[in-house]
A and B are shown apart, each in its own frame.
Chain A
Amino acid sequence: MTDLNKLGLAEARDLLRKGETTSVALTEACLAAIDSAGALNAFVHKTPEIALERARAADARIAAGDAPAMCGLPIGIKDLFCTKGVESQAASNILKGFKPEYESTVSQKLQDAGAVMLGKLNMDEFAMGSSNETSAYGAAISPWRRGNEETPLTPGGSSGGSAAAVAADLCLAATGTDTGGSIRQPAAFTGTVGIKPTYGRCSRWGIVAFASSLDQAGPMTKNVRDAAIMLEAMCGHDAKDSTSADLAVPNFEAMLTGDIKGKKIGIPREYRMEGMPAEIAKLWDEGAAMLKGAGAEIVDISLPHTKYALPAYYVIAPAEASSNLARYDGVRYGHRASLAQGDGITEMYEKTRAEGFGHEVQRRVMVGTYVLSAGFYDAYYNRARRVRTLIKQDFEQAFAAGVDAILTPATPSAAFGLGEMTDEDPVKMYLNDVFTVTVNLAGLPGISVPTGVDSQGLPLGLQLIGRPWEEGDLLNTAYALEQAAGFVAKPARWW
């Protein structure tokens, strides 16, 4: 069988169990695809030796009749996850050369479930960005192009390398992380599926921290079934993360019946923003019609504080980042600046951080420092935390009124060209997360599903938002939407 790298997780799993292929064959196909896709800059650290060793071990387990959920399935890991003995630098120069002595809980769980790590994936520096352009490795490039144009497009961010790699079939699936939309926006830009689970579902231990009250890991996959399989392998309580939830993890795949009859789907009127492109509005209306056609009831709802989500996010996330990133001091790991005669420890900190952090990271650390500083803490940080309470209450009221899931666009546009946003002020780039950031502030699960293409042939996605801890029900609604949309477009290979 050829093109094994083009398979999804479920398909490959079923072939492995039937003995019709091997993990080594799957892994070799992916490694060859990765080697011929340097132009995408998706994999930034390749680990072929680890991959083949784990693939051989997986084949032995399958032969012995012991095949856990992800056994033998080759995946990519976002560079934000610490992986033992393998570079993990959060796409930052300040962590250049950092090889953790430990493995993140999520990547360990995937490994325990038999998954095969192919390497580390590109991303925005410290996951701060929406285009993958803040990466110290240079931008990842989307496999998609506008019509016959050759303009390089962004795969989105911050999990841009993960999205590009999955869309280009360099791996069967990948891990991502999402603080304000970093799984769902790149998934929408690349025609892939990405789910951010409820805050606390996945352990954050060993994932380089950006904004701890918002960060969650999740899978990026080729379809909803694969997202269910991989999410289940990633979740679960972990004593090493005090915010990880001690709740049983259901069998998400078993919940994919496609039956959503009688489900109530909310359409939040505040998301129909002024200046919304007609293509996005149409996609959204069509999505609602598809869910209705599958038997769901569509209801108009109000989430009145939506407009304040992004400004609240741009206080809370930088504040937490300024605290989390204080650890990069040139003492314990990563880069240390070379010092001039007479430089003391303060100069060491200042020069190290100026050299090691990129521009966007510096800007956010300083904004965070400002909003937490004496005299401004109440006016900015505490006010933003109060607004966050109100945003969460908006969702609670919708769910209390019987809404099962909320349907919104995933992004305000299709993927843009690399560099097209660089000349704009930073706030323009931040607007990419306008539909996704509310979900992080409220701690809810959200999933992006590809449902159409724009006039230039680029993929567009819709987002479904679920009740806390009900990822299974959310995945099932997403599955029904996926079935109805029948999205099958793939990027034509140019790389």
Chain B
Amino acid sequence: MSIDQSTAAKVAKLARIKVEEDALPALAEEFNTILGFIEQLNEVDVEGVEPMTSVTPQRLKRRADEVTDGNQQAKVLANAPDAREGFFAVPKVVE
């Protein structure tokens, strides 16, 4: 599998990272180096092998479905780059 510039641009878009047009060839080349390394996995016979979901066999704990935290609006907003009137502020989303 070889990644071309348009695929690199698509991946950057999906990852929401702006990559300038002139940086795309180098990025595509880096992807190809890394993916070339990963291709080795195709040598392994994985027929009938379950994909790992949890490295330690454990049941996730359950707890009662009740409110245990909250009422910390000021703390939640304390690190926001732009907070107004108790909300996170972002550029206009809906036209």
Contact = CB atoms under 8 A, between A and B. Distances in A.
Nearest to B3: A370
B91 A331 contact: no
Interface in A424-446: 425-427, 430, 441-443
Contacts of B13: 350
Interface stretch (A254-262, A287-295, A376-384): A376-384
Given A99-B79, A386-B51, A354 B19 contact: yes
Nearest to B60: A242
Nearest to A101: B75
A184 interface: no
Interface in B31-60: 31, 33-35, 37-44, 46, 49-56, 58, 60
A370 B31 contact: yes
A7 interface: no
Given A331-B90, A336-B81, A213 B17 contact: no
Contacts of B14: 369, 373
Interface in A66-116: 97-101
Nearest to B33: A425
Contact of A333 (B54, B72, B79): B79
Contacts of A384: 38, 41
A179 to B, nearest CB: 13
Nearest to B63: A239
Contacts of B91: 339, 343-345, 347-348
A182 B78 CA distance: 31
B92 interface: yes
Contacts of A392: 52, 55
A199 B80 contact: no
Contacts of B88: 331-332
B11 A332 contact: no
Interface string A308-339: 10111011000000100010011111111001
Candidate in A101, A334, A366, A382 with the most chain B CB atoms within 10 angstroms: A366
Given A99-B79, A370-B11, A468 B56 contact: yes
23 contacts: A99-B79, A101-B76, A198-B56, A199-B55, A213-B55, A305-B44, A308-B43, A311-B41, A333-B79, A335-B81, A349-B16, A353-B18, A354-B17, A354-B19, A357-B17, A366-B15, A369-B14, A383-B42, A386-B44, A386-B46, A388-B51, A392-B55, A426-B33
Contacts of B54: 213, 243
A149 to B, nearest CB: 31
B61 interface: yes
A385 B37 contact: no
Interface string A339-371: 100011111111101100100001101110111
Given A245-B56, A332-B88, A468-B56, A314 B34 contact: yes
Given A311-B37, A386-B52, 19 more contacts: A101-B76, A246-B61, A310-B37, A314-B37, A331-B80, A331-B90, A332-B76, A350-B16, A350-B18, A353-B17, A354-B17, A363-B30, A366-B11, A373-B11, A383-B42, A388-B51, A388-B52, A426-B30, A441-B55
Given A380-B38, A390-B44, A385 B52 contact: yes
Contacts of A308: 40-41, 43-44
Interface in A220-253: 239, 242-243, 245-246
Contacts of B52: 385-386, 388-389, 392
Contacts of B80: 331-333
Contacts of A239: 61, 63
A-side binding surface: helix, strand, loop or mixed?
helix
Interface of B: 3, 8, 11-19, 27, 30-31, 33-35, 37-44, 46, 49-56, 58, 60-61, 63, 72, 75-76, 78-82, 88, 90-93
Given A380-B38, A384-B41, A389-B51, A331 B81 contact: yes
Contacts of A245: 56, 58
A310 B36 CA distance: 13
Given A331-B81, A387-B41, A345 B58 contact: no
A17 interface: no
Nearest to A214: B55
Contacts of A380: 38, 41
A199 B56 contact: yes
Contacts of B31: 366-367, 370
Interface in A271-312: 305, 307-308, 310-312
B49 A390 contact: yes
Nearest to A431: B37
A82 to B, nearest CB: 11
Contacts of B46: 383, 386-387, 390
A338 to B, nearest CB: 10
Contacts of A312: 41
B17 A365 contact: yes
Nearest to A337: B18
A200 interface: yes
